[in-house]
Amino acid sequence: MSQQDAVAALSERLLIAAYKGQVENVVQLINKGAKVAVTKHGRTPLHLAANKGHLSVVQILLKAGCDLDVQDDGDQTALHRATVVGNTEVIAALIQEGCALDRQDKDGNTALHEASWHGFSQSAKLLVKAGANVLAKNKAGNTALHLACQNSHAQSTRVLLLGGSRADLKNNAGDTCLHVAARYNHLSIIKLLLSAFCSVHEKNQAGDTALHIAAALNHKKVVKILLEAGADGTIVNNAGRTPLETARYHNNPEVALLLTKAPQVLRFSRGRSLRKKRERLKEERRAQSVPRDDVAQSKGSVSAGDTHSSEQAVPRKEESREDFLSASPEPRAKDNRQKKSRPKASAFSDPTPPADQQPGQQKSSHTHSHPKKRPRHHCSPPGAPHEFRAYQLYTLYRGKDGKVMQAPINGCRCEPLINKLENQLEATVEEIKAELVSVQDKMNTKLGHMENKTQHQVS
């Protein structure tokens, strides 16, 4: 046997020893002069040892000077082969020796693509920390984040997002990661992407948003999540269809019903923050306005100030003027007439006169000589139609029973109710349509059975 044949035999034995993880045999074969051979797929002993997770063999081969970045017939390096199976120790050893991180195989996939596709989050974390390009695209235009979202690997998705990957990058079909997650009905991935402020309005090359895709594939929960995130249901794709029309076109009545109720979903599913903000605004508006009870009390205090009392400590100019006018009964009567006419002139005053200005009680207000005053009966004002306290500023309207009611003047309270009723009406129409379609299908099925039975009896 020639020396060349002997070296070839040693090299073949080195391949087998590296594949089986036989450390002592690898050392002996290298000392005997075995050279790096390749398999029929172009893989070296380092490829085989890295794929099988034989760390000791990998370290020996690296010390022996084995090339780190040799590519096999599929253009994969040893790092690719280690990442496919998630051997983190081997990956760390190869990174420490300085292997190329972003070398692409024949499909354009890097080692990070492989780790993300298979869901090896620890391997992905090692590669991201070592400086692997998280924005690299394969030949289909997919980033590593696209592949992690497609296979619903939540932890790998989180690692890539924290590593700087962008969820709005598009592949060759124009799909973002949200399109991919919506197509494969991965709710956890969609929530992760939305928490990373992924856009819900991006279109692919067909003009479809993620909401179009979920509506076409009858993914009801995905549609609900996207609507709650603010997805626009009026966007039209290249076929001229909105998400609602897409759901009807693909015969998805439940999704169509949900999209019909989209205004209600957007209004009532925004979460606790908007409700708190709305309540805070109500509190501020309530604090700025003057309650009717305080207004009634202030009016009562003014009328009490009109009657001359010796217990006032610091008289004011206005009170002295009123006391001066109260000396003669005729100016006093004119003053009372002016006070009675004021509520009719102002649109923001109380239409019902307070208790101290009732016609039957005016006589008691003129009597100054009696030491004991009769207790005045203060009738409580009528309750407002809402649950909060009444305001000084209000408007009048007629209720269902024909009585005149009052409500805040800052806006009509009927508009939200009308919008809600319109949405409920549209939803009811959709339910009726869906029920008619199901009944028609059942009737067609029964008629078909009857026709087949009749033909069988005739024959």
Helix 55-63, helix 3-20: angle, nearest 10? 140
pLDDT number for residue 413: 58
pLDDT number for residue 399: 64
pLDDT tens sequence across 119-134: 999 999 999 999 999 9
Mean pLDDT of 148-169: 94
- Determine which of 91-105, 153-167, 348-362 has the lowest per-residue pLDDT on average: 348-362
Mean pLDDT of 100-105: 93
- Determine which of 237-246, 370-379, 413-422 has the lowest per-residue pLDDT on average: 370-379
Has residue 28 got a pLDDT over 90?
no
Mean pLDDT of 12-25: 86
Please say whether the dihedral angle defined by the alpha carbons of residues 377, 383, 389 and 392, taken in this order, is positive or negative: negative
pLDDT number for residue 294: 52
Mean pLDDT of 345-371: 43
pLDDT tens sequence across 262-320: 765 555 444 555 556 666 776 766 665 545 455 455 545 544 444 444 444 344 444 44
Catalogue the long-range contacts made by 382-391 (C-beta closer than 8 Å, 24 or more residues apart).
382/352, 382/406, 385/413, 386/413, 388/282, 388/286, 389/286, 389/291, 389/292, 389/293, 390/291, 390/292, 391/286, 391/289, 391/290, 391/291, 391/292
pLDDT number for residue 386: 46
Has residue 364 got a pLDDT over 90?
no
Q: Highest-confidence range of 211-215, 260-264, 330-334, by mean pLDDT?
A: 211-215
Domains of the chain with bracketed CATH: 1-97 (1.25.40.20), 198-282 (1.25.40.20)
pLDDT tens sequence across 376-433: 444 444 444 444 444 445 556 566 676 766 665 555 556 667 777 888 888 888 888 8
What six digits make up the tokens of 233? 């249901």
299 versus 150: which is more confidently predicted? 150
Has residue 369 got a pLDDT over 50?
no
In the chain, % of residues over pLDDT 70: 65
- The answer to whether the predicted template modeling score (pTM) of the entire model surpasses 0.85 is no
pLDDT number for residue 199: 92
Mean pLDDT of 318-330: 45
Helix 317-325, helix 292-306: angle, nearest 10? 60
Half-sphere CA count of 49, side-chain side, radius 13 A: 29
**395 strand-pairing partners:** 407
Neighbour-count burial for 39-50, b at 16+ CB within 10 Å, e otherwise? eeeebbbbbbbb
pLDDT number for residue 351: 45
- Determine which of 62-66, 133-137, 199-203, 290-294 has the lowest per-residue pLDDT on average: 290-294
pLDDT number for residue 449: 83
Please state the three-class secondary structure of 107-125 as a single string.
Answer: CCCCHHHHHHHHCCHHHHH
For 427, the 3-state DSSP assignment is: helix
**Angle in degrees, CA 341, 343, 346, rounded to 5:** 110
Read off the pLDDT band of 448 (50, 70, 90).
confident
pLDDT number for residue 169: 94
What six digits make up the tokens of 458? 């005739």
Mean pLDDT of 28-50: 82
